[in-house]
Homo-oligomer: A and B are copies of this chain.
């Protein structure tokens, strides 16, 4: 036999069981997005490389999957260039297109390209795969789905409140206990300003983020190493050791940041979101976390991250506000805020906590055993009635041994088997066997519909 075929590393096949679970995740997120008035869009899997390159940093450019031009892909390369073997430069000549790396840049491109057809504020969601030529490892794939929602063309903080609500509702539906961590980029800017190190904001937030992992002593040492003055590090201490509930933290920071206009603006925004989320009945824990600094180069206001309370795993959802999503494509002044659910991690969390509802594993409800042509045709008529009532059912296609047919039901987790033999043909009935209990009963098709509905 030929070598067993395989798939590229970092990619996955999804079995029926996995697909049912994944659909449960996507459908749940989608239903909440829709309840909140978001509309779905899709963009092509491939974008022009000019759209993608330079948007994810130098490292990101390397991680883009590029598509070889069709036909004579060497036509614009001369011999000298070829022999130069500069792969980065040659890529630009050999490839015009690449696979999308995330949903955000294609969305920005979409908004600019279709700006005359779009009604602002524009609330869109998008659930599609993305591709990254990352080194594959446990839990990191080269093809994975993102589930993004964004509102653009509005500065209102009510949008942030809406997203906190969406997160709360989605995870309530999943039955996953979460903590919604909030921060605000303006607070981080205020901190850098107050301690007189506005240029060092990235170093400072990276350090704050490490406290849990390496401890305060090491963080302080690292800050000094990065060239931050001892005085500034001293000033940072109340922030690094910030504790208590949201009100207490806000109180401490309000004092520290009193003289920073941008810092106080950040605190005001944070308070608005936390207070209104509470007023509107968000039940998940909402926690102000000043160490939250994800996507710092990108977010300009609210920063959101979600952790599962009962499973050790990274962030399962994240997002924030950005001021100039579309500027890179020449359309300035479009502010937006958005979130992204991490479907693969949510899949793992639901598996670990065994939280999938039974109907997320749904398949065929009842298998009709095949005893021959006459019985099969009688079965098909009953099957038609069942399907008209929305019940998934099937006839075993061959007149195989009973054992084989029952094995099919068993292996496919089909809960009931219907048997139509001579008796049942004469009585116009169906003998129904429950696969779990083994109990059999002879009923008519209306009763069967009632039973399975």
Contacts and interface: CB of A to CB of B under 8 A. Distances in A.
Interface of A: 1-8, 11-16, 19-20, 22-23, 34-37, 39-48, 50-51, 62-63, 65-68, 70-74, 79, 82-83, 85, 87, 90-91, 94-97, 99, 109-110, 112-114, 117, 119, 121, 123-124, 129, 131, 133, 143, 151, 154-156, 158-159, 161-162, 169, 276, 279-281, 329-331, 363-364, 367, 370, 376-377, 380-381, 384, 387, 390-398, 407-408, 411-412
Nearest to A408: B119
Contact of A82 (B23, B66, B82): B82
B91 A155 contact: no
Given A37-B394, A397-B159, A51 B5 contact: yes
Contacts of A395: 158, 162
A162 B70 CA distance: 40
A54 to B, nearest CB: 12
A12 B411 CA distance: 41
A381 B280 contact: yes
A147 to B, nearest CB: 15
B68 A40 contact: no
A87 B75 CA distance: 10
Contacts of A65: 46, 67-68, 70
Nearest to A329: B5
A276 B39 CA distance: 44
Given A154-B398, A156-B398, A398-B154, A39 B16 contact: yes
25 contacts: A1-B330, A1-B331, A5-B51, A5-B113, A6-B113, A7-B47, A8-B47, A11-B45, A12-B44, A13-B113, A14-B41, A35-B393, A37-B393, A45-B131, A65-B68, A67-B68, A67-B99, A68-B94, A70-B133, A83-B83, A121-B397, A158-B370, A162-B395, A169-B387, A280-B377
